[in-house]
Chain A
């Protein structure tokens, strides 16, 4: 063990700032590549297929069960106050505002983010990215950008599916199983949910989460050490960082959107 020196702190701060700067430039690069990426849409289509279609099952099933549980719990509490009809409103608001975007982003990080990190990390370990550079093909434009924009497109759509399936799940439990009046279920929901304040902000949130999770996954893969151990660590870091960032951003966004 060597003695602690002030230069250690200096180095830590400097490398932390350098990493943040690198991440910011990486993000700016990806955003700037929006036009060229969309012009080669076949690459993005491939990613939408991989990230979206294959995530549909886990998102749909999770949404269904979250809707079931919300309706059961909500009914249990609301019927004490004699307002069991409000269960539809409760399910819809909690899904649209919070649970839909957050749970979808967390599931997406686990289901698709990890595979993105591992794929990019292995491409780097196998020197495929270096080979592309040798052939004057920009790996960021050819490999990273289509995945980034594919993820950013897919997550809001998956969130919408999650919410819709969750509300249907709530309807199944409260109307079909418990016997809440279906008219009151829907009309309470329609009276309390606002298109822009609730649905619009939820879609905005899911867009931010989609960009965040995909970006973290791609960056971790791109800067991973090109070894088996490095790729394993990068994959773990993707899940941890993406989940924490989603939850932290969710708090910030909620504070900005619903505080006034």
Chain B
């Protein structure tokens, strides 16, 4: 095949296009920091995961240490079963506890790890037993309403005889 002067321009065009793709992958989708670190898997059971989603962050002391790999339902214990992928650079004691937290007031939910004090570390495939469910806003509100209603009822009970006097 003979070469022509247009080769340069076509090559430049293809380069610009591929460069734009690479820019999108790296700068907007952050491909590099996503999945090239080796990871190990843990499982954990939660009573209620709230709005946790796959790929949600796992943080310890606010630092990203892994991601949620899979969320399923355990129909023997009737709990949510969450699989986590943690960065192999970070190790946590066996009695560490997991909490589902919310970033900001209405932000997305993530899992926080609080390190325990055990000598042994969690290894791949371990199950974390100490977990704390997500705070469900509806439960919180109904609890608050129930408490305030109970408070009013008892307050009213005391106030009513007072009013009769």
Contacts and interface: CB of A to CB of B under 8 A. Distances in A.
Interface in B52-108: 55
Interface string A49-82: 1001100100000000000000000000000000
Contacts of B2: 42
B129 to A, nearest CB: 30
A20 to B, nearest CB: 33
A195 B34 contact: yes
Interface string B26-46: 011111011000000000000
- Classify the interface of chain B: helix, strand, loop or mixed: helix
A36 B146 CA distance: 76
Contact of B17 (A41, A42, A160, A186): A160
B30 A49 contact: no
Interface in A23-50: 41-42, 45-46, 48-49
B20 A52 contact: no
B23 A45 contact: no
B10 A53 contact: yes
B27 A186 contact: yes
B25 A157 contact: no
B150 interface: no
B4 interface: yes
Contacts of A46: 6
Contacts of B10: 45, 48-49, 52-53
A92 B25 CA distance: 11
Interface string A186-212: 100111011100110001000000000
A156 B20 CA distance: 11
Nearest to A196: B29
Nearest to A155: B17
Q: Kindly state the interface size class of chain A when it binds its partner.
A: 20 to 34
A48 B29 contact: no
Contacts of A41: 1
Given A49-B9, A195-B31, A42 B20 contact: no
Contacts of A189: 27-28
Contacts of B30: 190-191, 193
B28 A45 contact: no
Contacts of A160: 17-18, 20-21, 24
Contacts of B119: none
B3 to A, nearest CB: 9
A112 interface: no
A249 interface: no
B110 to A, nearest CB: 11
B7 interface: yes
Given A42-B4, A157-B18, A167 B29 contact: no
B24 A199 contact: yes
A199 B25 contact: yes
A32 B19 CA distance: 30
A161 B1 contact: no
Contacts of A218: none
Contacts of A193: 28-30
Contacts of A163: 20, 24
B163 interface: no
Nearest to B1: A42
B86 to A, nearest CB: 19
A96 interface: yes
Nearest to A40: B1
Given A49-B13, A194-B55, A96 B1 contact: no
Contacts of B13: 48-49, 52-53, 56, 157
14 contacts: A49-B9, A52-B10, A53-B9, A157-B21, A161-B20, A164-B19, A164-B21, A164-B23, A165-B20, A167-B28, A189-B28, A190-B29, A191-B30, A195-B34
Interface of A: 41-42, 45-46, 48-49, 52-53, 56, 92, 96, 156-158, 160-161, 163-165, 167, 186, 189-191, 193-195, 198-199, 203
